[in-house]
Each structure stands twice: as structure tokens, then as C-alpha cells.
Copies of this chain bind each other. A is one copy, B any other.
Amino acid sequence: MSEQVVPARRRTYRHGNLRQALLEAGLELARSGGPDAVVLREATRRAGVAPNAAYRHFADRDALVHEVSLAAMAALARTMEEEQAALPPADDPVRAARARFRAIGTGYLRFARTEPGLFRAAFFVPADMAEAEAGHSAGAGGRTPFQLLGAALDDLVGCGAMPAGRRAGAEFLVWSSVHGLAVLLIDGPLRGLEDSQADEAARMLIDLVERGL
């Protein structure tokens, strides 16, 4: 059943960078089972170390899960950035802003469906995603998913594609909509949808949001 990922019993007493190893093991566990699957003992096992060694690097299991969560959030940010980067160049600035906005949503949903475990881990008591800790939950561009969305909305307002009066707090509304669909697709009544159907739902949802902005 389990992968038996024993990493060739090390010969040095010290591990070298246990913290990183535990983090990676934790991420791997989260990837296949969400935050609940991040079990401390299994992580130490995979790192080839005694269970208690983990306590030299993390206060407790929650601390480990929290760091895994931040890393997962960063992975989400990267997927969103990729989606935007893959956009074909557009002349019309309004069209371009709209495309970047939609890419935020599609990237978000793509990540949720591609890496459901990490997605769930990312939202495991993240709480302060909007606030601090940006450094750890940001993508390559140094921005968190929340900041990426905010920038896209600013763009829309900037080019007149969205009334400025609706800008305040808009990120939370958009985020709610897209996040909700992601959750329903992952382990709600919409799970098991074909990719094509899921994409269709995503398109419709983003259409609805765009009309409502």
C-alpha cells in the first residue's frame, strides 16, 4: 500500500536539513489526502528519523501542517501566475484586463482540480491569507493568490471595464464565488464531473461574476 519511501538509511547522526525534509514529506502527504493526511510520524519515517526529531523543528503537528499549508498556498499562486503568463498577447487593453481576470479564476480552479489535496491543505486554517505571511504563501512573482486577484481587479477598474464604485471589497466576493465552486468540485456534489463539464461550469461561473461586477 504505502510507497516505502525509505531514503537509504543515512550514516551521519545529523540529518543535514531535517526541517526541509519534513516539510517536503508533509507536502507529499497533503498532496495525497489533504491536511488530515499530514501525520507527523509518517513524515519522520520518510525522513528516516525518529518521531521526536520533528519537535526540534516544529512546535507540534499543527506547526508542521501550517507550514505545509503556506507552501500549498504558494503553489496555488504559482499556478495562477502560470495561467496568466500563458495568455496570448492582446491589443485591446480592456480585453486584456478581462483575460487576466479570468485567468485568475481558471488558474485557481485548475489547481483545485489538479491538486485537490494541496488545495484543501492550503485552506486549512489559513486565516491570514489576506494579511501577513506573504513571503511564504506567495508565488514566483512574490504575490499571494489574494494579491493576484486584487491586482486583476485594479486592472479592470483602471481600464474602465468595471465601475470603481464596486471595487471596494470586490476581491472577497469574487473569491467567494470561485472558491465555492472549487470546493463543490473537489468534494462537494459536483465532484466526479468530467473535465469538460467542470471547465464549462467554471466558464459559466466566471461569466456570472463578470456580469455582476
Task: Choose from B129, B205, B213 the contact partner of A188 (Cβ within 8 Å).
Answer: B129
For residue A52, CB closer than 8 A to chain B, the reply is no
Which residues does chain B contribute within 8 Å of A126, judged by CB atoms?
188-189
| CB within 8 Å of B: which A167-205 residues | 169, 172-173, 175-184, 187-191, 201, 204-205
- Count the copies: 2
Which residues does chain B contribute within 8 Å of A111, judged by CB atoms?
none
Specify the main secondary structure of chain A where it touches its partner: helix
Task: Choose from B131, B176, B189 the contact partner of A177 (Cβ within 8 Å).
Answer: B176
Which residues does chain B contribute within 8 Å of A173, judged by CB atoms?
177, 181, 201, 204-205, 208
If A180-B181, A184-B176, A208-B173 touch, does A189 touch B125 (CB 8 Å cutoff)? no
Nearest chain B residue, comparing its CB with the CB of A168:
B204
Cβ contact within 8 Å between A176 and B189: no
For residue A123, CB closer than 8 A to chain B, the reply is yes
Nearest chain B residue, comparing its CB with the CB of A123:
B188
For residue A16, CB closer than 8 A to chain B, the reply is no
Cβ contact within 8 Å between B187 and A172: no
For residue A140, CB closer than 8 A to chain B, the reply is no
For residue A130, CB closer than 8 A to chain B, the reply is yes
**CA distance in complex: A141, B172 (Å):** 33
5 A-B pairs within 8 Å (CB atoms) are namely: A131-B189, A169-B201, A172-B201, A175-B184, A176-B205
